[in-house]
């Protein structure tokens, strides 16, 4: 087994991980930025096409306290308001800092262009290009990372386990995918920035490496998770006709700028029937829009492929081409003409509000273990406000990196033998007496993952019931006991896809159970958690649900929401 030593290990190299590495590197300490994919090209940030919320006040008067107020309202009583306030206040500095780092935010008359987005009270959301904000941000951060010689970048390094002794981080073990070597990593602090878990749903907008790694690593290390029942479903994910080479969540920018209209199968507007407002203003929240589409389909008023129509037929062709010229051409290659035909859309698993429980320094209850970006839970409550994901990566990434680099604690020295011992526990856990299966053609990781995704989509999706959640828990337990436990970890080889799938499935099964258990315990409807058989919001459940692992079992408890007192300050127009 190989051995590495670093001051700070950052797991995940999307927006949050790169920002964390930059902040940590400013201390002069040695940083290892690891990603099981390619640095800056895996995860959610590079895929982001839309807008970034920050109260910079370039388009119209604004103040971060109003952004906070909108965030808390969207979170429906469950936001950790201390974290939310940090997010909204520091988002302004991070966006301006990214501008200093040469991110080409769209501008008009030397001021950032900002647009209205669902749930916001003013035009607050910045963008680079409506369909290329994520790639531009990733490019900027990649360039900043490269300026620091004390940041070592490791693509294709899959972190398997965090090694903890007496509640203190000692290091980690990982797999070098290219060479097939296991690695022991001695480190003073670890930042978990490996994103969310929406890949565990069959219909999702996630990259392949978003199966819940950060959450699973945190649980097994002894950290707590919070709000795991709240999965955000993006309401207008592309459904039909077939779309090749374009992101399924691409339609939001069109709605922002041009006011696409949602229609049911009878070509009628319907959001208003569910307590929302739609049309050109596009102010309806994601949770309500997703719910409304699903209910219309259930009532037999869906579009032909089981969704809703999104129509831009009322928008003049010249206006469409002016706003999205190159994209219109790409759509034409897919035989889509927005001036003549509507497209079909339907909810798609997109983001996870829950995550790792942290304090304001982004530290977990495990000394030396921090989290950043979508891996963090609490700031968004029951429903994330549109545009808050990327500033969350920036703000929490910077904080996690800074405090991880400042963290000091006396710990026992990690040795290669410690790594070998930790790895042995992972790989031999399944080698129990009656299991002799090594290559069983009837049991494959990919088929188990597909079963898991179907369970989560069918029983733990946009609309849930006590029966569906009980069924999901039973089925996931069956996958663990009768399928996954009967597959021995594949032998180590170079570029071992089977071993990677095994490690991914190990994490995803644990995260799926955490989501289902938390959802089952929340006996109400709130935000993204909609119970068909309990369609009411109850004051007694205005609490956060916290989950931990104890002797291999998941345990939950309820905690009071962290709330703060604040006053809305006067909105101001920023100076040029």
Q: What is the largest CA-CA distance in the chain?
A: 72
Choose the weakest-confidence range: 1-10, 112-121, 561-570. 112-121
The model's pLDDT over 37-62, given as tens digits with 9 standing for 90+, comes to: 887 677 767 666 668 999 999 999 99
Q: How confident is the model over 498-514, as a mean pLDDT?
A: 95
Report pLDDT for 443: 66
In the listed set 316, 347, 378, which residue is the last one of a domain according to the structure? 347
Determine, yes or no, domain membership for 118: no
Determine, yes or no, domain membership for 502: yes
The model's pLDDT over 172-219, given as tens digits with 9 standing for 90+, comes to: 999 999 999 999 999 999 999 999 999 999 999 887 788 999 999 999
Residues 342 and 252 in one domain: yes
Bigger pLDDT: 510 vs 117? 510
In the listed set 347, 368, 385, which residue is the last one of a domain according to the structure? 347
CB atoms within 10 A of CB 556: 18
Residues 337 and 449 in one domain: no
Give the pLDDT band (50/70/90) at residue 576.
low
Tell me which residue range forms the domain holding 526. Answer: 418-542
The model's pLDDT over 452-470, given as tens digits with 9 standing for 90+, comes to: 999 999 999 999 999 999 9
What CATH number is attached to the domain comprising 343?
3.90.700.10
Residues 343 and 447 in one domain: no
What CATH number is attached to the domain comprising 480?
1.20.58.100
Structure tokens at 538: 């109850």
Say if CB 381 and CB 227 are below 8 A apart: yes
Residues 423 and 527 in one domain: yes
Q: How confident is the model over 73-87, as a mean pLDDT?
A: 98
Report pLDDT for 405: 97
Helix, strand, or coil here: 560?
Answer: strand
Report pLDDT for 529: 97
Determine, yes or no, domain membership for 576: no
Report pLDDT for 205: 87
Determine, yes or no, domain membership for 574: no
Determine, yes or no, domain membership for 44: no
Report pLDDT for 436: 45
Q: pTM of the predicted model, to two decimals?
A: 0.94
Bigger pLDDT: 135 vs 41? 135
Q: How confident is the model over 97-108, as a mean pLDDT?
A: 94
Alpha-carbon distances of 94 from 53, 192, 225, rounded to whole Å: 11, 20, 26
Report pLDDT for 441: 45
Q: How confident is the model over 276-288, as a mean pLDDT?
A: 73
Q: Facing residues of 190 across strands?
A: 9, 369
Residue 295's nearest CA partner among 525, 469, 450 is 525
Report pLDDT for 171: 97
Bigger pLDDT: 409 vs 3? 3
Determine, yes or no, domain membership for 430: yes
Determine, yes or no, domain membership for 325: yes
Residues 424 and 537 in one domain: yes
The model's pLDDT over 209-243, given as tens digits with 9 standing for 90+, comes to: 889 999 999 999 999 999 999 999 999 999 999 88
Report pLDDT for 15: 93
Q: What average pLDDT does the structure give for the chain?
A: 91
Determine, yes or no, domain membership for 442: yes
In the listed set 288, 320, 347, which residue is the last one of a domain according to the structure? 347
Residues 426 and 529 in one domain: yes
Handedness of CA 456, 458, 463, 465 (dihedral sign): negative
Report pLDDT for 48: 67
Nearest 5°: the CA angle 499, 501, 504 is 110
Residue 25's nearest CA partner among 356, 404, 409, 326 is 404
Residues 439 and 527 in one domain: yes
CA distance 284 to 278: 6
Q: Where are the beta strands (DSSP E) in 319-467?
A: 343-352, 355-356, 369-371, 463-464
Give the pLDDT band (50/70/90) at residue 281.
low
Q: Is the pLDDT of residue 438 over 60?
A: no
Residues 342 and 428 in one domain: no
Residues 335 and 432 in one domain: no
Structurally, the chain folds into a number of domains equal to: 2
CA distance 258 to 544: 38
CA distance 289 to 311: 15
């Amino acid at each position: 087994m190989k051995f590495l030593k670093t001051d700070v290990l950052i797991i995940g190299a999307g927006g949050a991980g790169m920002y964390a590495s930059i902040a940590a590197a400013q201390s002069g300490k040695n940083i290892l930025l690891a990603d099981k994919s390619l640095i800056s090209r895996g995860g959610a940030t590079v895929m982001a096409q839309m807008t970034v919320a920050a109260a910079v006040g370039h388009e119209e008067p604004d103040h971060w306290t109003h952004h906070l107020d909108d965030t808390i309202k969207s979170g429906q009583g469950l936001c950790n308001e201390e974290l939310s306030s940090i997010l909204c206040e520091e988002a302004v500095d991070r966006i301006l800092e990214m501008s200093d780092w040469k991110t080409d935010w769209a501008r008009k008359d030397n001021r950032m262009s900002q647009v209205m987005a669902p749930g916001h009270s003013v035009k607050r959301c910045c963008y680079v290009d409506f369909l290329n904000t994520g790639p531009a941000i990733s490019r900027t951060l990649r360039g900043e990372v490269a300026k620091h010689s004390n940041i070592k970048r490791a693509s294709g390094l899959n972190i398997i386990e965090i090694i903890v002794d007496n509640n203190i981080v000692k290091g980690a073990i990982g797999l070098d995918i290219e060479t097939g070597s296991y690695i022991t990593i001695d480190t003073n602090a670890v930042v978990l920035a490996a994103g969310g878990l929406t890949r565990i749903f069959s219909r999702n907008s996630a990259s392949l490496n978003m199966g819940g790694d950060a959450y699973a690593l945190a649980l097994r290390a002894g950290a707590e998770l919070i709000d795991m029942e709240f999965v955000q479903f993006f309401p207008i994910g592309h459904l039909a006709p077939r779309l090749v080479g374009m992101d399924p969540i691409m339609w939001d920018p069109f709605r922002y700028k041009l006011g696409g209209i949602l229609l049911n199968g009878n070509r009628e507007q319907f959001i208003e029937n569910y307590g929302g407002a739609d049309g050109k203003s596009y102010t309806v929240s994601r949770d309500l829009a997703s719910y409304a589409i699903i209910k219309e389909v259930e009532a037999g008023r869906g579009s032909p492929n089981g969704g809703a129509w999104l129509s831009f037929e009322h928008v003049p062709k010249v206006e469409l081409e002016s706003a999205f010229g190159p994209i219109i051409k790409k759509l034409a290659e897919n035989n889509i003409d927005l001036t003549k035909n509507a497209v079909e859309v339907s909810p798609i698993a997109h983001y996870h509000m829950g995550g790792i429980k942290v304090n304001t320094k982004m530290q977990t209850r495990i000394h030396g273990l921090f989290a950043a970006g979508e891996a963090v839970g609490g700031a968004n409550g029951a429903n994330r406000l549109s545009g808050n994901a990327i500033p969350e990566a920036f703000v929490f990434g910077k904080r996690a990196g800074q405090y991880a680099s400042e963290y000091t604690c006396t710990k026992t020295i990690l040795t290669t033998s410690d790594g070998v011992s930790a790895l042995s526990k992972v790989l031999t856990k399944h080698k129990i007496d009656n299991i002799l299966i090594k290559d069983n053609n009837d049991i494959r990781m990919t088929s188990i993952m597909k079963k898991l995704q179907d369970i989560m989509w069918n029983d733990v999706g946009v609309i849930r019931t006590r029966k569906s959640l009980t069924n999901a828990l039973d089925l996931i337990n069956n996958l663990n006991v009768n399928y996954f436990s009967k597959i021995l970890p594949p032998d180590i080889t170079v570029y071992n896809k089977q071993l990677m799938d095994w490690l991914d499935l190990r994490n995803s099964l644990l995260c799926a159970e955490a989501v289902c258990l938390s959802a089952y315990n929340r006996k109400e409807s709130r935000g993204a958690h909609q119970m068909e058989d309990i369609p009411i919001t109850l004051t007694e459940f205005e609490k956060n649900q916290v989950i931990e692992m104890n002797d291999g079992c998941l345990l939950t408890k309820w905690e009071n929401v962290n709330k703060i007192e604040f006053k809305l300050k006067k909105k101001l127009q920023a100076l040029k």
